[in-house]
Structure 1
Amino acid sequence: MALLFNPHKTLACSVREEIDELLQAAEISVTHVAVDYDTKILQVEPSVQTVEMAIVLGGDGTLLGVARQLAPHHIPLLGINMGHLGFLTQSDPSQLGPAIERIIKHDYQLQRRMMLEVFVYRQGKEIAKLIALNEAGIGKASFARMATLDVHVDGVYMDTYSGDGVIISTPTGSTAYALSCGGPIVSPQLQVMVITPVCPHTLFSRPCVIDASQTVRVKVRARHKDVALAVDGQDGMMLESGDEIVVRQAPYDTTLVHLPDREFFDVLRSKLHNSAYTSATY
């Protein structure tokens, strides 16, 4: 078992000791790794790629960063919420004991969440490849500028968006940035992508749901250099006019540990109806 914790969250540092005691009492060996957005987990601790499960102590942002690194190794992730929203996590510190007991007894299910591969091409050459669990966002980097983006699906012209940008999200990401921009809530087990314009300068541009097997190509048209690509709100790069971004389903999924009494619509109702939280999970 791997215990990955965000060292910048005081509660995470204290809770990991409690979890360690519970797992050690059940004779389960534990590997501790401090993780941040920039931590190269498998370089710091190569043995993590062989563990049965990784418990992630942090918020949704911590879990997103871990997922992008461990998904290719098919390691189930159990999120314990140390942040604000905790939409992707399965337990809070107050429910820690029962949650860990279920893990010890193998009383849980595994959920597969589709991911995205994002390629950036400049003058016909691939210059970057990124992975996302929530979304790929393409848009202006400054407040006053406007980005113009041509969007094609499977080589067929779909629309041109002039405004703040466009988001291509997974069902998991439908409750993140895309939701704040008017996108639909999508049940996480579906295999689809959602294309959501961000503040489009038109009266008719609307979000669109496409099949996960399709490929989205976005071409940047701008007179300035304040256009950027961001994946999961954490990783990304600056773009130039003429760049093309290709988004498609990744060849692997993120595997999340799911506790039976934590259903998607129950979490949706309790989290998103609470005015103390925002709607984003990035």
Structure 2
Amino acid sequence: MNRIGILHHPKVAASQPLAAQIEQWLAAHQIATWQASSHDEQRLAELVPTADLLVVLGGDGSLLRAARYSSVCRVPIFGINLGRVGFLCEAQPDEWPEKLTKVLAGDSWVENRLMLAARIQRNDRILHTFSVLNDVVVGRGRQARVVRFQLHVDSDHVTDYTADALIVATPTGSTAYSMAAGGPLLPPQLPNFVVVPVAPHLTFDRAIIFHEQAEIAITVQMDHQAYLTPDGTDGILLENEDVVYITKSENDCQFARVESRGYFYRRLMGRLGYSR
């Protein structure tokens, strides 16, 4: 590796001192570096394509932000957890020298994770497009009122929902909001995604798993506010009869891993408090 980007979190006090420490450590290994805030979208768009690896300091949210840029140019991410959960991170703050040494030595492997592409269509016009690693959530706004959804897959009508929201999640996102809403846990190797209703009322209440080539279409029907929220970022206001199309993205997100290939289950149980 010739150049490594280091992304620090602007709102985490420990992030920038740790970034400086890692930069010094990499310089001692004759590796060029650059630093940027994980919230600085302009610099990320410019700098990420120049890196061979991204070291991301923060929680899962920081890695989701980085994934939007790294997936396009296939730059692997090495996450150091400074957040609360850290499902996606490969190292804790006291582990990074040992694990990053293995990455630099080639004693690691690259994990590919499926991403989703979403677009909002209104009256035959595309308004917004998104790429997400976790999930797309289509749901109600400030008012505690349900939204009606029509679900089509590959142009065929599947079912209608009356619910607070619908979550369309990747295997990565299956451990996030989808899990909290009762959805299944999908290992990251699966090429599937899942639709999970949130608080469905007198309607179909099961999660449905779809194959990677499926095209999901969600038509929103309401007389109040509803939003589309990609990967937990700021929501986009929807109007009645807007259609949200979701497919597999052309790009995968890559993670540099040094743990065994079965790490997911061990880490999951540990984060949930069930490890021995």
Q: TM-score band (shorter)? A: over 0.9
1:223 CA displacement: 1.3
After TM superposition, the runs of 4+ consecutive aligned structure 1 residues lying more than 6 A away are none
The Cα offsets for residues 104-151 of structure 1, whole Å up to 9 and x where unpaired, read as: 212111011111110101011111111110010001012421111100
Matches within 5 A, 1:228-267: 228-261=227-260, 263-267=263-267
Query: TM-score scaled by structure 2?
Result: 0.94
- Secondary structure in 2 matching 1:93: coil
**Which deviates more from structure 2 when the two are superposed, residues 208-217 or residues 194-203?**
194-203
1:147 aligns with 2:147: yes
Deviation at 1:234, TM superposition (A): 1.1
Per-residue CA shift, 1:76-117, capped at 9, x if unaligned? 011110110000100010212211211221211101111111
| Residues 160 and 203 (structure 1), Cα distance of their counterparts in 2 relative to 1, 3 Å cut | closer
Q: Is the 8 A contact 1:87 1:267 kept in 2?
A: yes
Cα gap change, 1:243/1:183 in structure 2, threshold over 3 Å: closer, same or farther?
Answer: same
**What amino acid maps onto 1:30 in structure 2?**
T
Q: Which of 19, 40, 43 pairs up with 1:41? A: 43
Q: 2:204 & 2:127 partners in 1: Cα distance?
A: 34
1:28 aligns with 2:31: yes
- Could you report, residue by residue, the CA deviation over 1:163-216 in whole angstroms, capped at 9, with x for unpaired residues? 101011111110011000000000101100101001100264200101010000
Query: What is the rounded CA distance, in whole Å, between the counterparts of 1:259 and 1:202 in structure 2?
Result: 47
Where do 5+ consecutive residues of structure 1 fail to align? 275-282
Question: Taking every aligned residue pair, what percent have the same amino acid on both sides?
Answer: 30
Q: Distance in 2 between matches of 1:273 and 1:153?
A: 37
Contact in 2 for aligned 1:26/1:104 (Cα 8 Å): no
Give 5+ residue unaligned stretches, structure 2. Answer: none
Instruction: Tell me, yes or no, if the aligned pair for 1:115 and 1:249 is still in contact at 8 Å.
Output: yes
> What is the number of residues matched between the two proteins?
271
**Residues 271 and 20 from structure 1, CA distance in 2 versus in 1: closer, same or farther, beyond 3 angstroms?**
same
> Residues 138 and 166 of structure 1 are in contact (CA less than 8 Å); yes or no, is this contact kept in structure 2?
yes
Alignment-derived partner of residue 15 in structure 1? 18
What residue is the counterpart of 1:207 in the other structure? 207
Aligned counterparts, 1:49-64, within 5 A: 49-64=49-64
Which runs of structure 2 are paired with 1:155-170 in the superposition (5 Å)? Answer: 155-170=155-170
For the pair 1:97 / 2:100, whether they are aligned, the reply is no
